[in-house]
């Protein structure tokens, strides 16, 4: 028989062996690729989940902070006279971040844990519903303590928030220039430090309590999980020995049980953390639920062009009560002051024609500053009306009133900003030429040029790097830059010495030129040239006329003038 010059073909058995090995290698490679793919997908899902939770959490902080900030800006002045600044700032910082934790860290894992819990239960029920139901007997141990622990932690969290707000308020007040000066003058730094340390120590103790409560809770749940595993091994082993369950199924159930109780523990812990975070939500929305007393009407009007007359027509006014404008938690009191609502203006009527200067004089607390605040619509009247150019201010938009009315108060408040920044508050779009023109007319340009940084000089908190007269003239320059049609001066020179007063009076002459003005003054010598002088006592206008007419009448104005003249003579 002739031999083949090449090897014989492999036997069918050889082909089968090689084919089997090739298939096995393919399966191994496929499994490896699947495992690698699952790992990559899991990593990707983790990154996406973290990005989503961070985006939701930070977006929540942004929305809550801006909402609270915008809402607080709409509150009446009475709100700020009663509220502790530090407590209010704490709502914007600590409480908003506490509310954010519920989304960025806690709730982000709830969906994943719920899915794992449901899938694990389905598989376990398919293996043995008896063992699974027995394991779930311990489920109330997770649910009931979670409810009680959540309420307990919420109370602890509320107490910690109150102490943090108190610390913030103490720092805000004591770290300001007036507060620090007051502490130094009265020699109480040790007592202040002790009070702050006591609050800080209380917050630290609450932090330890919170950590121990949470740790005890999680440890107890972990112990329950271990007991459940022991229970499954015991009952499953009994079934296995009785031939009613495979040994492999027992092992599978015990392994699945860890997959069951891990998400249960996470969900129970999440509920506790969410209950604590709800305290922060409550404190934030407590502020948002306060209704502003002054709001623009839907059909709010703009002010007509041209000169503006100011009129008060039979105005009666009471300052709002505490419950209308404040919160007990923001005032650090158990209950709000029930007083308030007493009428302070009783049928006040006046009219300042366009270009006129009307002065309000009288005793302290007579209601002069209240009248000025009503013209600027910092408050609304109870009855009667305040009109600008014949239009009730309640029918005008807030922007229209701000654009028409400019006010200089006694304290001459400035922000911790540059001279330019404080001036541009009046007109953000003003040019450098307009800014310098306002400084010139306020008799302040030479001083600003002499400063090392000129117009970029930072004036300090509340402008305390400037003298009282310089600070007041800067507020007048701001008013000049604004160019309002109505000027309200509320004791603008009351706290100045004679030299500073002369400089400020010269600047005020620039402000009043050609504008309707309402001037509140303690020193009667500054209002003798007013077109009309009104004497206000106990919330009523008791006299009105020119300086000469009121002196000749021999009434309350003449008495005030004579008393003040005698005081000036004694001082001289």
Domain boundary assignment for the chain: 22-288, 310-411+484-496+504-571
User: Above pLDDT 90, what percent of the chain?
Assistant: 12
Element (H, E) at 391: strand 391-392
Q: Pull the structure tokens for residue 127.
A: 């293996």
pLDDT band, residue 375 (cuts 50/70/90): very high
pLDDT surpassing 50 at residue 3 = no
503, 473 Cβ separation under 8 angstroms: yes
Distance CA 318, CA 383 (A): 10
Cα torsion 157, 158, 164, 167: sign: negative
116 or 571, higher pLDDT: 116
Task: Give the integer Cα–Cα distance in Å for 448 and 285.
Answer: 45
Which of 143, 113, 359, 158 is closest to 278 using CA atoms? Answer: 158
Condensed to tens digits (0 to 9), the pLDDT of residues 243-259 reads 776 666 666 666 667 66
Taking the C-alpha atoms of residue 408 and residue 402, their distance in angstroms, rounded to an integer, is 13
The residues facing 392 across adjacent strands are 387
- Average pLDDT (343-350) is 92
When pLDDT is averaged across residues 403-413 and rounded to a whole number, the result is 83
More confident residue, 557 or 233: 557
Q: Given this model, what pLDDT does residue 533 score?
A: 92
Average pLDDT over residues 237-244: 74
Which pLDDT does position 280 carry in this prediction? 78
- 34-90 per-position pLDDT tens digit: 667 766 776 777 677 778 777 777 777 788 888 888 888 888 888 888 888 877 887
Least confident of 9-13, 239-243, 415-419, 444-448: 9-13
What is the structure's pLDDT at 461?
A: 79
Paired tokens of 309: 């007359």
Q: What was the pLDDT predicted at 16?
A: 55
The CATH architecture of the domain made up of 22-288 is Up-down Bundle (1.20)
| Mean pLDDT of the residues in the chain | 78
Cβ contacts of residue 266 below 8 Å, gap of 6+? 109, 113
Whether residue 8 is predicted with pLDDT greater than 70 in this model: the reply is no
Instruction: Please name which of 422, 506, 426, 432 lies closest in space to residue 466, comparing C-alpha atoms.
Output: 422
- Name which of 123, 144, 130 is nearest 257 in CA terms: 123
The answer to whether the beta carbons of residues 310 and 515 sit under 8 Å apart is no
Say which residue, 25 or 230, is predicted with more confidence. Answer: 230
Question: Nearest CA to 527 among 310, 365, 386, 362?
Answer: 362
Average confidence (pLDDT) over 358-365: 89
The pLDDT value given to residue 207:
80
Q: Phi-psi category of 412—alpha, beta or left, where left has phi over 0 and alpha has psi -120 to 50?
A: left
Cα gap 566→22, rounded to integer Å: 118
Q: How far is CA 566 from CA 178, 418, 522, in A?
A: 33, 42, 15
Token representation of residue 109: 């894992």
| Separation between Cα atoms, residue 299 and residue 319, nearest integer Å | 26
Give the up-direction half-sphere exposure of residue 40: CA atoms within 13 A in the CB hemisphere: 6
Q: Which of 159-173, 253-267, 287-301 has the lowest mean pLDDT?
A: 253-267
Q: Tell me 395's DSSP state.
A: G
| 310-411+484-496+504-571: CATH topology | Rossmann fold (3.40.50)
Kindly give the residue spans of alpha helices, DSSP state H, lying in 462-515. Answer: 468-482, 498-512
Mean pLDDT along residues 273-284: 76
DSSP reduced 3-state for 452: coil
3-state secondary structure of 52: helix
388 vs 476: CA distance, rounded Å = 22
Q: Rounded to whole angstroms, how far apart are CA atoms 441 and 432?
A: 14
Full strand arrangement of the beta sheet holding 357-361:
405-408, 486-490, 516-520, 357-361, 532-537, 540-545
User: Minimum mean pLDDT among 116-130, 141-155, 383-397: which range?
Assistant: 141-155
pLDDT digits (tens, 9 = 90+) for 190-207: 777 888 888 888 888 888
Residue 24, pLDDT > 70, answer no
Q: Are strands 540-545 and 532-537 parallel, antiparallel or unpaired?
A: antiparallel
Contacts of 500 (CB under 8 A, 6+ apart): 467, 468, 469, 472, 493
Six-digit token string for 469: 């007269």
> Among all chains, which residue has been given the structure tokens 């369950």?
245
Q: Do the domains spanning 22-288 and 310-411+484-496+504-571 agree at the CATH topology level? A: no
Q: With CA atoms as reference, report the closest residue to 64 among 329, 326, 284.
A: 284
Segment 355-381 mean pLDDT = 90
């Amino acid at each position: 028989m002739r031999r083949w010059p090449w090897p014989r073909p492999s036997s069918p058995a050889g082909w089968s062996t090689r084919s089997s090995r090739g298939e096995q290698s393919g399966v191994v490679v496929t499994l490896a690729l699947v495992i690698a793919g699952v790992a990559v997908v899991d990593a990707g899902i983790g990154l996406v989940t973290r990005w989503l939770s961070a985006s939701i959490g930070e977006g929540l902080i942004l929305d809550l902070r801006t909402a609270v900030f915008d809402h607080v800006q709409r509150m009446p002045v009475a709100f700020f006279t009663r509220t502790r600044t530090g407590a209010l700032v704490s709502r914007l910082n600590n409480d908003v971040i506490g509310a954010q934790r519920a989304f960025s860290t806690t709730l982000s894992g709830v969906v994943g844990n719920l899915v794992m819990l449901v899938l694990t239960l389905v598989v376990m029920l398919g293996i043995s519903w008896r063992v699974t139901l027995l394991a779930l007997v311990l489920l109330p141990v997770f649910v009931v303590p979670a409810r009680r622990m959540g309420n307990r932690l919420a109370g602890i969290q509320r107490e910690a928030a109150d102490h943090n707000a108190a610390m913030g308020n103490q720092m805000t007040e004591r770290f300001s220039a007036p507060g620090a000066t007051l502490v130094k003058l009265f020699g109480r730094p040790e007592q202040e430090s002790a009070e702050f340390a006591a609050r800080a120590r209380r917050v630290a103790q609450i932090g330890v309590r919170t950590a121990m409560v949470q740790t005890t809770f999680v440890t107890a749940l972990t112990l329950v999980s271990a007991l459940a595993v022991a229970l499954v091994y015991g009952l499953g082993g009994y079934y296995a020995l009785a031939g009613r369950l495979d040994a492999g199924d027992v092992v599978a159930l015990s392994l699945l049980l860890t997959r069951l109780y891990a998400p249960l523990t996470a969900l129970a812990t999440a509920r506790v953390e969410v209950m604590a975070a709800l305290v922060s939500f409550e404190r934030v929305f407590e502020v948002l639920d306060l209704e502003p007393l002054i709001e623009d009407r839907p059909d709010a009007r703009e002010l007509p062009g041209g000169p503006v007359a100011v009129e008060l027509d039979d105005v009666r006014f009471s300052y709002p009560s505490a419950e209308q404008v404040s919160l007990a938690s923001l005032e650090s009191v158990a209950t709000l002051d029930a007083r308030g609502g007493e009428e302070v203006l009783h049928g006040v009527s006046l009219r300042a024609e366009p270009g006129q200067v009307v002065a309000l004089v009288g005793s302290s607390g007579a209601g002069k500053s209240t009248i000025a605040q009503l013209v600027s619509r910092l408050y609304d009247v109870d009855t009667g009306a305040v009109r600008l150019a014949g239009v009730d201010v309640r029918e005008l938009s807030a922007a229209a009133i701000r654009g028409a009315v400019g006010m200089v108060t006694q304290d001459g408040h400035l922000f911790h900003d540059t001279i330019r920044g404080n001036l541009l508050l009046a007109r953000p779009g003003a040019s450098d030429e307009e800014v310098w023109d306002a400084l010139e007319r306020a008799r302040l340009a030479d001083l600003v040029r002499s400063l090392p940084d000129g117009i970029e000089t930072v004036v300090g908190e509340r402008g305390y790097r400037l003298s009282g007269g310089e600070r007041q003239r800067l507020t007048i320059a701001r008013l000049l830059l604004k160019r309002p049609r109505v000027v309200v001066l509320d004791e603008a020179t009351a706290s100045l010495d004679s030299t500073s007063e002369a400089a400020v009076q010269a600047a005020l002459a620039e402000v009043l030129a050609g504008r309707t003005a309402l001037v509140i003054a303690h020193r009667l010598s500054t209002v003798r040239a007013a077109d009309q002088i009104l004497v206000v006592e106990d919330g009523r206008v008791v006299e009105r006329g020119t300086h000469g007419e009121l002196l000749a009448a021999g009434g309350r104005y003449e008495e005030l003038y004579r008393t003040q003249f005698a005081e000036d003579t004694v001082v001289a």
